[in-house]
Amino acid sequence: MIANVLSIAGTDPSGGAGIMADLKTFGALGAYGMAAITAVVAQNTRGVTGFRVVEPDVLTAQIDAVFDDVRVDAVKIGMVATAEIATAIADALTRHGAKHVVLDPVMVAKSGDRLLAAEAVAAVRDRLLPLAEIITPNLPEAADLLGTEEPSGLAAAIEVAGELKALGPASVLLKGGHGGGPDSTDIYFDGDTLETFTAPRITTKNTHGTGCTLSAALAALLPTMPRLAAIARAKDYVTGAIAASDRLSVGHGHGPLNHFHEVWPAE
Ligand SMILES: Nc1ncnc2c1ncn2[C@@H]1O[C@H](COP(=O)(O)OP(=O)(O)OP(=O)(O)O)[C@@H](O)[C@H]1O
Ligand SMILES: [Mg+2]
């Protein structure tokens, strides 16, 4: 089966993050990609220079246009920007009974620019988290959602994964990209099973869009694979895309991942 997968997120005209990264990821992993835009973002590998959030009714119309016509097998939610957008997404996905919802609670870009208004964190937590099959916060986002300090060390991170699960998602993948150490370890918890997914930490500045890419990969794979297998495959895909990023020459800041590393022949 070729899964139809919808990304609800912001844009990146430089192609490495947001909707653009999501569509590349869906395609690379064999899914049919679709996209509804929450915000038009001016950004590149160096940072975000500005963005304009779409009117909530324009976003609702985009989501309705997809669901009214297409069988949607999974949904990835990325940049939400405002509480009104969070509400519009929650209402639409509830109305359409969306399956396999992956929520990447994007708050701050790699460049440090804020992509979710501070006062919108509560709306994401209260309206979107409970709809998600899996949420993929990084360590600072986990702390923001819980109103606590960022955990340091594996034991503290495992505790935080449990606290996030209690907020209502079916499962949590707490990402360790921001942690230190020789490995980048992500922690999975669904209230029952606790699992860690580890890959060697790759030394590169090309990490623009890692989070977008991982969550998009999960959405692409969940319709056709058991959840833990989908996570393992998604992590493997992202690690490979980071490792092959040096083949690209895009921008002067944090460069994009090589989304098609498994597709394009090696030189
Ligand atoms: N240097 C690295 N080497 C290997 N894996 C990495 C590296 N950096 C991040 N990852 C992995 O990439 C995935 C995304 O994690 P990360 O914590 O970077 O997300 P993020 O902070 O949301 O990213 P973004 O800033 O793009 O939104 C995770 O599986 C993480 O373990
Ligand atoms: Mg992120």
Would residue 126 count as lying in a domain? yes
- Per-residue pLDDT of 208-262, as tens digits, reads 999 999 999 999 999 999 999 999 999 999 999 999 999 999 999 999 999 999 9
Domain span at residue 23 reads 4-247
Instruction: Classify residue 255: in a domain, yes or no.
Output: no
Q: Indicate which residue of 11, 38, 87, 210 is catalytic.
A: 210
Domain count, the chain: 1
Which residues make Cβ contacts (< 8 Å) with residue 261, sequence separation at least 6? Answer: 240, 241, 243, 244, 247
- Is 209 an active-site residue? yes
Helices and strands in the chain, H and E counts: 8, 9
- pTM of the full structure: 0.97
Q: Could you tell me if the CB of 144 is within 6 A of ligand 1?
A: no
Q: Would residue 264 count as lying in a domain?
A: no
* Domain membership flag for residue 252: no
Chain centre distance of CA 229: 18
207 noted as active-site residue: yes
> Which residues of the chain fall short of a pLDDT of 50?
none
Asked if residue 263 is part of any domain, the answer here is no
Helix 139-146 vs helix 154-165: angle between axes, to the nearest 10 degrees? 50
Residue 240 in contact with ligand 1 by CB distance below 6 A: no
Asked if residue 260 belongs to a domain, the reply is no
Q: Is 96 in the pocket of ligand 1 (CB under 6 A)?
A: no
What CATH number has the domain bearing residue 74?
3.40.1190.20
Average pLDDT, the chain: 96
